[in-house]
Structure 1
């Protein structure tokens, strides 16, 4: 038995003993209020002794907790900025007037569950693959770039759980600039869902823009889990035959990174973004470093300070999805000036 076990094992017994003695002591105090003589001197002495033990134990616990917190904070400093150095609010370059509207894009990621959408997004953000699966309800990420003296903002919306809420999913589709549709090469049903999603996106954009012909959708199709070749049930020829040869299709592996660089480059091309937005072409820096190199806060105004020679990017940890009201206003501005006959997300 180690020293920690030797110390903590008697604690429960001490607490029980202390509680029982405290109750008796309280009873003795009530009784002593009625009679001048002290009725339980031994109980009072033992209670004071127990109180000393409890204070010693609590003091030891506080020291241990302080050491644990200190070790955790020191280890987290190696990975990210400490919590007291995190910015107080999210950074929206478009709202701050620090970038052009054409340099801000929202990528909407859609697909069936368990196909690897979250890990692909993590790869784009410069993070590692995570083996453990956790169902995603909705995730919103923002990555800020500084390339050749210009600022770029890419928002990523992982609308995983919106498959059960058609109106909410339709709003996400209408606000999306670029679409990444992900299926698993080992799951034919997930591929069928991607085909349906692509048709839904085309129909929604066509109606929004009031076009006579189906809209051309800036979408990239991703067949993930290419590393599990023995489980493959969907072939590349089948994808090309169903979706057409002009579709941008890539087979990737979020686990070993195969094909991801080409896919991210295709997303950048569709959005009119520089190739340097692909994860392998820029350096990831902390958000505060990004701000200190590119922005300077003077009162309530933000202004440029100096340009960076090498492409860099930072992830905004405080980014949150814009409200549905603001998204709906964006949709209405995108539509024609004529008043729509009915709400576009219906």
Structure 2
């Protein structure tokens, strides 16, 4: 006996009605399974009483399924904290993060990680937004951790800069220490109108130097740029330049900036490039922004024309990887351990 029931599927405010039966049970199971994987209706659709459906109603289900697929293509897949980015189609994005070193498109010496440290509410996120070519964001949202990747093509060479805002690691010393150990360049940020943030920056500088001193390869000076942000709020200033000089020393790379007014940042970005051995063209004003797919095509195309005289000719350009994710802590730990075991006297990893 073929009993039938009526099934209701609410899609975009429209209630689709169809009769269930005992025809084509396996096909219907696969269709519903695919639907359940991408919708919030999974509990309702996985009921044993609707495991079968008539052939006529299969057309309705396929139409609904096609509608969902169309919605998936236009969904926003960019993760960004308070970025305000316009929606981008998934067809315009790479499937995974672009790692130039893994793809063989650059050399290890052209890959750097900048670690940004500082107290909350000092403007770290907006400084990074300026570096990524974005506008200042007035609304404040606490940052747990933010990871960005900006890829450059300058004078025929590809460069990869990873930016780690380790704001959420203030209460996790071991995680913060691991982030410090994996950093190549450091940006310390405090607010000129907040003395406590200045005190925290001083302590962080000591922590950076102590952590890096444990790595045998780090015998040279640690590349650190110190940023006194919110210079636009001069009336509320709580830290003087003489105090900064006294605490950090005369030779410290210190810059007074305003992420809101976009003042002082250009010099700071150039100092980061200089200390890290990067070209000046990595500063935001020295290159044009292109899409990630255009960047990939450019790198692959130039790699195929290495023997050509025209290879490497063109204006400096850069792209922001919209799906960049921080490497796992396991990968970072292996990186730190590997840097220690390359020497004659292996050293224990100083994470704790």
Q: TM-score, normalized by length of structure 2?
A: 0.72
Q: Per-residue deviation at 1:241?
A: 1.1
Structure 1 residue 345 and structure 2 residue 327: aligned?
no
CA distance in 1, matches of 2:164, 2:134: 17
Structure 1 residue 233 and structure 2 residue 200: aligned?
no
CA distance in 1, matches of 2:345, 2:125: 38
Q: Per-residue deviation at 1:96?
A: 1.2
4+ residue stretches of structure 1 with deviation over 6 A? none
Q: Which residue of 2 is the match for residue 36 of structure 1?
A: none
Q: Which residue of 1 is the match for residue 267 of structure 2?
A: 262
Q: TM-score, normalized by length of structure 1?
A: 0.73
Q: Per-residue deviation at 1:340?
A: 4.8
Deviates more, 1:109-118 or 1:90-99: 90-99
CA distance in 2, matches of 1:90, 1:210: 29
CA distance in 2, matches of 1:180, 1:334: 22
Alignment map for 1:267-286 (pairs within 5 Å): 267-286=272-291
| Contact residue 287 and residue 316 of structure 1 kept, 8 A | yes
Label 1:160 to 1:324 Cα distance change in 2 as closer, same or farther (>3 A): same
Q: Per-residue deviation at 1:318?
A: 1.0
The Cα RMSD (Å) is 2.7
Q: Which residue of 1 is the match for residue 115 of structure 2?
A: 108
Tell me, which stretches of 5 or more residues in structure 1 are unaligned? 1-61, 297-301
Label 1:198 to 1:304 Cα distance change in 2 as closer, same or farther (>3 A): farther
Q: Per-residue deviation at 1:203?
A: 0.5
Q: Per-residue deviation at 1:342?
A: 3.9
| Contact residue 205 and residue 215 of structure 1 kept, 8 A | no
List per-residue Cα deviations over 1:113-138 (Å, max 9, x = no partner): 00000000000000000000000000
The structure whose Rg is larger is 1
Tell me, which stretches of 5 or more residues in structure 2 are unaligned? 1-63, 79-84, 306-310
List per-residue Cα deviations over 1:123-155 (Å, max 9, x = no partner): 000000000000000010000000000000000
Q: Which residue of 1 is the match for residue 319 of structure 2?
A: 314
List per-residue Cα deviations over 1:267-307 (Å, max 9, x = no partner): 000111000000000001110111122225xxxxx944564
| Contact residue 141 and residue 319 of structure 1 kept, 8 A | yes
CA distance in 2, matches of 1:341, 1:151: 33
CA distance in 1, matches of 2:139, 2:340: 41
The structure 2 residue matched to 1:202, chosen from 202, 206, 209, is: 209
Label 1:260 to 1:80 Cα distance change in 2 as closer, same or farther (>3 A): farther
CA distance in 2, matches of 1:242, 1:124: 27
CA distance in 2, matches of 1:343, 1:308: 43
Q: How many residues align?
A: 272
List per-residue Cα deviations over 1:76-121 (Å, max 9, x = no partner): 9x95753222111111001111111111100000000000000000
Query: Alignment partner of 1:295: what SS?
Result: helix
| Contact residue 337 and residue 348 of structure 2 kept, 8 A | no
